[in-house]
Structure 1
Amino acid sequence: MGDNLADMLPEEAITLGARPSDWREAITVAGDALTASGATTDEYTREMIAAVEELGPYIVIAPGLALAHSRPSPSVLRAGLSWVTLSEPIEFGSPNDPVTLVIGLAATAQDGHLEVMSSLAGILADEDQMTQLEDADSPARLRELLTRFSASGD
């Protein structure tokens, strides 16, 4: 699977400037992007929404950032990420609201997602890198930055 986040985030999995009307739609956009990239089936999107309905907005892990995911299941075809920026911030019912970035994460039971999470965490914790990622105006530009940041983190 490689440590490069861009390898797990093809252009089909990137949606910039989405306009969902609520958190369910925001997760759906992230899930649709995972499905479009071949990482998951539509069922996984429903599982991600159900997880928040059941457990609350625990996926809003930092101010403005939701990490949409569910447990590994048959609806995950391979590990993958999706990246969705929201043109209008959305309330998830979390102290870290409102959300402007939804990252979808799909992991299979075999590969776990700790490796991906640690690369991602390194970038998300770096304000300068996050600002550049948030300013990326195209999926290609976003992937280029992720490739560069992943390489510099090692």
Structure 2
Amino acid sequence: MLKKVLDSKVNIVDNVKDWEDAIRTAAQPLIADMSITNNYIEAMINNVKKFGTYIVVAPKVAMPHSRPEDGVNKNCLALLKINEGVFFGDETDEEEKVYFIFVLGAVDNESHIETLTQLMDVIDDEDKIEAMVKAESVDEIMELI
């Protein structure tokens, strides 16, 4: 199911300007198919400014999100791989670099739980994340997922 949800919503870039640019870039497939609005992107960025880097959910992985009423039109998920990584916190610690941005949008508090559970199985698998860091194509990433 996770592959189906992510279909055509995975992108790879070499670098981004900063963490805000990472969130905006990662969300573009969801804007393109009208799953979310631009307001949702701004809400995700404001959440990080307000609450800190809580969206870094595992080593190398961030999952920005916000409330359904901030602009989610349908349950959705997109993934951006940043080859050079981006810092959300301490810019002197290479261990803090994030390589994967999973943008999650949910229309309510329950309907996305199955997708989230499957996603956490991927995120919690350190070997899989390391293999995804080395992956050079969207197809390779999708195989690992």
Alignment-derived partner of residue 6 in structure 1: 3
Which of 41, 52, 74 is residue 48 of structure 2 equivalent to? 52
What do residues 15-57 of structure 1 show as CA deviations (whole Å, max 9, x unaligned)?
1124211111111111213212432122211111111111111
**Residue from 63, 66, 79 that aligns with 1:70:** 66
Alpha-carbon separation, structure 1, partners of 2:15 and 2:43? 21
* Stretch deviating more after TM superposition (107-116 or 119-128): 107-116
> When the two structures are superposed, what TM-score results if normalisation uses the length of structure 2?
0.84
Equivalent residue, structure 2, for 1:121: 120
Give 1:149's aligned residue: none
Partner in structure 2 of residue 151 of structure 1: none
> 1:33 is matched by which residue type in structure 2?
P
Residues 86-145 of structure 1, C-alpha deviation per residue, up to 9 Å, x if partnerless?
122222126862211111111111644322221111111122322333333332343343
Aligned residue number for residue 142 of structure 1: 141
User: Percent identity among equivalent residues?
Assistant: 30
Q: Where in structure 2 are there 5+ consecutive unaligned residues?
A: none
Gaps of 5+ in 1: 147-154
Distance 1:63 1:74, change over 3 A: closer
- The one-letter code sitting in structure 2 at the alignment partner of 1:128 is D
Q: Is the partner of 2:133 in helix, strand or coil?
A: helix
How many pairs does the alignment contain? 142
Q: Please identify, of 33-42 and 53-62, the stretch whose mean Cα deviation from structure 2 is larger.
A: 33-42
Residues 41-87 of structure 1: per-residue CA shift (max 9 Å, x gap): 22211111111111111101112211111111261111111111112
Is 1:88 aligned with 2:81?
Answer: no
How many Å separate the matches in 2 of 1:60 and 1:109? 22
State whether residues 61 and 123 of structure 2, in contact with CA within 8 Å, keep that contact through their aligned partners in structure 1: no
Q: What amino acid maps onto 2:117 in structure 1?
A: S
Is 2:57 the counterpart of 1:61?
Answer: yes
Matches of 2:140 and 2:73 in 1, distance apart?
A: 26
More displaced 10-residue stretch of structure 1: 85-94 or 52-61: 85-94
Q: Cα gap change, 1:89/1:140 in structure 2, threshold over 3 Å: closer, same or farther?
A: closer
Tell me the SS of whatever aligns to 1:69: coil
